[in-house]
Amino acid sequence: MTTTHPPRSQTATEIPAVPLTVEGYSVLHQMMRFRWPAWRGLPQAEKSAIANEASDALSEMERNSGGQSALYSLIGHKGDLMLIHFRESFAALNQAELKLAGLRISDYWEPATSYLSIIELGLYDSTVKIYKELADQGIEPHSDQWKAEIACKLERHKEAMRPRLYPEIPANRYACFYPMDRRRGEEKNWYTLPIEERARQMGEHGLVGRRYAGEVRQIITGSIGFDDWEWGVDLFADDPLVFKKLIYEMRFDEVSAVYALFGQFYVGVRVPAGSLERLLSGELSK
């Protein structure tokens, strides 16, 4: 079935196509493979000393006031460990990465992959209203006055949304991370749709997620210009079955069914920093 979109209005053609966003914490996902044969060959006392050093460092990072870190034991062949870092800047993420690289345990893990992004909230509905309001006032798009008005309005949105932009890492037992794109091929191209149509589809898409409030926590990060995909999605829940139910239901939305492309999925079990030695000894049950 082919969807026909109405012609864009004259006002719509005068306003930018790019939706406004507000950003919060910078985010780094690190997926690691553990060198189990080398680890098993170490004396028990040395394994304990290395694990305790790493536990102390991770415990401090879990409590970091400028954005936390969390450790997960990955399920499946894509890696053994996943570290999620929330920080106030890319420079702070780099410091977290270097701090871990300086630990002795880094001799026994190696990167499987990583993902760099920033917490992002899209303002589709507000964008249309703001753009049209400024256009109706006769303010030229992209002029200095336009930019100043946009900056002022975004600052108010950012302050109102601060808890969602600078959250703690949810303490749920399971995490699911995956990257995604919006399709931009010859036949279906998300970026050529009118902004009003994109806002409508995203509104419908959001309704599904709200039905799962209380069961799953979702954090969206933007990665255009930072990594190979356009967005990253983190889901947190105490029952991993909700990941399947939520994502499956969302794929029936037009925005996902027609315009979404998905990368690899990573699912892990939360490991408190103090339990690292038990995990590496095989005593921590998943």
List, by residue number, the catalytic residues. 178
CB 20 within 8 A of CB 126: yes
Q: What is the dihedral sign for C-alpha 14, 16, 19, 21? A: negative
Report helix, strand or coil for 140: coil
Structure tokens at 26: 């910078």
Scan for tokens 């871990």, then name that residue.
100
Terminal CA-CA length for the chain? 45
Q: How far apart are CA 34 and CA 81, in angstroms?
A: 8
H or E stretch covering 35: none
Contact 92, 26 (CB under 8 A): yes
Residue 12's Cα: distance from chain center in Å? 30
Rounded Cα–Cα distance for residues 227 and 83 (Å): 17
